[in-house]
């Protein structure tokens, strides 16, 4: 009995069945061409799904960055455009501002500033040259500091010299420093500070400082003085704690 070839008919039958189960949307492009797209229904709770894709990683990787005594307080991290991870932190052991970055194999840890007690409430940001800058509080001199890396070394300066950026350590226990770098590499700071214009020691304001990279000058001012928000203290408030 002769054998009958059935492979092709069976495959075509399978294709017909499969395509009949997948509705198509035909969107005309012009009179001569058209594009076919498979119509995919959204999940039932799609409105609650994040728009971004998730990593395929299934576990957290935990590493020790620095183990030199009591270290790692007030950490702040940032990732440069080249993928380098930077971490700024306060070392209570030496009362210093320190920074670490991932070199591809291990963590390199450096001292940023070691004079006096400096480094609390650190905030790090990356400039347009992929270099880190760190804002932190100098407890010894009661001022904010800005530390900048030029690609090879660190330099540290006072934020808004001559202005009140931390008299009496108003950040203790609750405050943080807001710090950001804009597209022109100018620096912006926000912070919680006592109001020197009043005699009451409980009056604090939300203030700001700005370093203009163009003319290399400082600006300083008050964002919110809290007036009219708390009658229990004659209109004085603790504005700008967080």
177 and 104, same structural domain? yes
Answer whether 126's CB lies under 8 Å from 86's CB.
yes
pTM confidence score: 0.69
How many contiguous H segments (helices) and E segments (strands) does the chain have? 1, 14
- Residue 4 has a CB neighbour count (10 Å cut-off) of 6
Look at 72 and 235; give whichever has higher pLDDT: 72
Mean predicted lDDT score pLDDT of the chain: 77
The reply to whether 223 falls in a domain is yes
Bridge partners (DSSP) listed for residue 26: 36
Residues 22 and 93 in one domain: no
Asked if pLDDT for residue 237 goes beyond 70, the answer is: no
CA 221/CA 190 separation, integer angstroms: 10
CA–CA dist 1, 127 (Å, integer): 82
Across the range 47-62, mean pLDDT stands at: 64
Residue 13 pLDDT: 42
- Across 26-30, 186-190, 233-237, which has the greatest mean pLDDT? 186-190
Residue 67 has pLDDT above 60, yes or no: yes
12 and 100: one domain? no
What percentage of the chain reaches a pLDDT higher than 70? 64
Looking at residue 225, what is its pLDDT?
Answer: 79
Q: Both 44 and 77 in a single domain?
A: no
Phi, psi of 196 (to 5 degrees): -70, -10
Residues of the chain by 3-state class (helix, strand, coil), percent to 5: 10, 40, 50
| Top-confidence residue, 171 or 110 | 110
Residue 242 within any structural domain of the chain = no
Domain that holds residue 150: 71-233
**40 and 89 fall within a common domain:** no
Domain tally, the chain? 2
Lowest-confidence segment of 18-22, 70-74, 120-124, 144-148 by average pLDDT: 18-22
22 and 131 fall within a common domain? no
Torsion of CA 110, 113, 117, 121, to 10 degrees: -70
Residue with tokens 């590493």: 63
pLDDT at 110 exceeding the cut of 80: yes
Phi, psi angles (nearest 5°) of residue 221 = -170, 180
Cα 109–97–66 angle (5° rounding)? 35
Whether residue 99 lies inside any domain: the answer is yes
Question: Dihedral angle at the C-alpha atoms of 139, 218, 126, 51, nearest 10 degrees?
Answer: 110
**Is pLDDT above 50 for 66?**
yes
What span, in angstroms and rounded, lies between the C-alpha atoms of 88 and 72? 8
Secondary structure (DSSP) of 132-193: EEEEEEETTTTEEEEEEE-SS-EEEEESSTTS-S-TT-TTTTT---EEEE-TTS-EEEEEEE
CATH code, domain carrying 162: 2.120.10.10
- Whether residue 158 contacts residue 115, with contact meaning beta carbons closer than 8 Å, is answered with no
Res 70 pLDDT > 80 = yes
The arithmetic mean of pLDDT across residues 70-79, rounded, is 92
Residues 35 and 83 in one domain: no
Question: Does residue 128 share a domain with residue 40?
Answer: no
Q: What is the pLDDT of residue 41?
A: 53
Q: Are residues 119 and 199 in the same domain?
A: yes
pLDDT band at 235 (very low <50, low <70, confident <90, very high): very low
> What distance in Å separates the CA atoms of residue 91 and residue 120, rounded to the nearest whole number?
9
Mean pLDDT of 142-164: 95
């Amino acid at each position: 009995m002769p054998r009958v070839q059935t492979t092709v008919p069976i495959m075509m039958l399978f294709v017909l069945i499969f395509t009949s189960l997948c509705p198509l949307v035909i969107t005309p492009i012009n009179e001569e061409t058209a594009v076919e797209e498979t119509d995919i229904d959204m999940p039932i709770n799609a409105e609650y799904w994040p728009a971004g894709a998730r990593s395929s990683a299934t576990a957290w990787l935990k590493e020790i960055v620095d183990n030199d005594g009591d270290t790692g307080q007030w950490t702040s991290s940032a990732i440069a455009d080249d993928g380098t991870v930077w971490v700024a932190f306060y070392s209570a052991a030496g009362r210093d501002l320190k920074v670490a970055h991932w070199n591809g194999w291990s963590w390199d840890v450096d001292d940023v500033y070691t004079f006096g007690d400096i480094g609390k409430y650190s905030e790090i940001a990356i400039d347009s040259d992929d270099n880190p800058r760190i804002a932190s509080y100098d407890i010894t001199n009661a001022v904010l500091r800005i530390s900048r890396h030029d690609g090879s070394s660190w330099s540290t300066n006072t934020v808004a010299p001559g202005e009140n950026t931390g008299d009496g350590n108003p950040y203790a226990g609750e405050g943080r420093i807001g710090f950001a770098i804009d597209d022109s590499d100018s620096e912006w700071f926000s912070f919680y500070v006592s109001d020197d214009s009043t005699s009451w020691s409980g009056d604090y304001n939300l203030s700001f400082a700005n370093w203009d990279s163009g003319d290399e000058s400082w600006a300083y001012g008050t964002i919110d003085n809290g007036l009219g928000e708390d009658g229990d203290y004659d209109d004085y408030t603790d504005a700008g704690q967080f």
